[in-house]
Structure 1
Amino acid sequence: MSEALTPEERAKKAAAAMWAEDRASRFLGMEIIEMAEGRAVLQMVVRPEFCNGHGIGHGGLTFSLADSAFAFACNSRNQATVAQHNSISYVAPAREGDVLTAVAQEISLTGRSGIYDVRVSNQDGAIVAEFRGASRAITGHLFEE
């Protein structure tokens, strides 16, 4: 009989299972910096091809980083979970070369529904965006326990 996983071990194992299949986050150059139950920290560099016609980071790519951090946080208990609703407020522009960090934190988890806040900031600690995600657990797990 194997020993039960701690919440942190479960979160890291769930993240590894998701990461192996997450081609979009890998393609965009994201990195997982930290994982814990209900929490994930991801980073991404704003590459030249991530900039829009105004010469600033495209909002959709900032959203993608926040959405990925949200996904890793809400799947950290090894319960398959998807987004039900997300919104984002852009506070300041991201610039080419910026290192963006998205910190996702669980705010509420009741039954199959969760609420997560994600703050995206740059390498200087300036807030770039605030994201709120609502999650819904579905059938399945990321790995067998």
Structure 2
Amino acid sequence: MTTTDDRAALSGLEVLRRFQDAQDTDTPNIGRLMGMTFTELEEGRVVMSLRTRPDFVNPIGTVHGGVAATLLDSVMGCAVHSALAPGVGYTTLELSVNYIRATSTDDRLLTGEGKVVHIGRSLATAEGRIVDEKGRLIAHGTTTCMVFPAPR
């Protein structure tokens, strides 16, 4: 991975591609913690997947909703990031998640896709969906992100 100064000279898509290439390293990050991997990466669109596991269980025995929220936040935020010019940063202002069906913790593949809806000078919006191995909708959502000059 590159330093913060190096990343300021790269577009968001270039930063994410470097991150994708290094995703199997031991660098601590939310993707590694959750077992997320990039499966598709293009400007304005990001697809990531993860496998459910017993660590994700909630009190009723299914995958905790926070897993879906984290996957949606990641794909939607990265979709926004992928469309940003060098020297531009972002942060999530709002995240809305709609849960459609519960998921088992027994090694199910969940795939999240995020797409940019709008990018302006100070705000960006994106939408996302999570499906299971059978293509069934698990959750969907939207996000609003603040866009700003990246700190050096």
**Same fold at TM > 0.5:** yes
Assess if the C-alpha contact under 8 Å between 1:113 and 1:135 holds in 2: yes
Aligned-residue offset at 1:105: 0.5
The equivalent residue for 1:133 is 143
Length-normalised TM-score, structure 1: 0.83
RMSD: 2.2
AA in 2 matched with 1:85 = E
Secondary structure of the 1:138 match is strand
AA in 2 matched with 1:37 = E
Q: 1:133 to 1:22 in 2, by over 3 A?
A: farther
The equivalent residue for 1:84 is 93
Structure 1 runs not aligned, ≥5 long = 1-8
Output the CA distance in 2 between the equivalents of 1:37 and 1:112.
18
Output the CA distance in 2 between the equivalents of 1:132 and 1:109.
14
Superposed CA offset, 1:29-72 (max 9, x none): 00011111111101011111101111111000111111111121
The equivalent residue for 1:50 is 56
Length-normalised TM-score, structure 2: 0.79
Secondary structure of the 2:101 match is coil
The equivalent residue for 1:29 is 35
Q: 1:11 to 1:34 in 2, by over 3 A?
A: farther
Secondary structure of the 2:30 match is helix
AA in 1 matched with 2:101 = A
Aligned-residue sequence identity (percent) comes to 22
- 2:128 aligned to 101, 118, 124, which one? 118
Q: 1:22 to 1:42 in 2, by over 3 A?
A: farther
**1:60 is aligned to 2:69:** no
Describe how 1:97-112 pairs up with structure 2 within 5 A: 97-112=107-122
Secondary structure of the 2:74 match is helix
Q: 1:42 to 1:84 in 2, by over 3 A?
A: same
Assess if the C-alpha contact under 8 Å between 1:69 and 1:118 holds in 2: yes
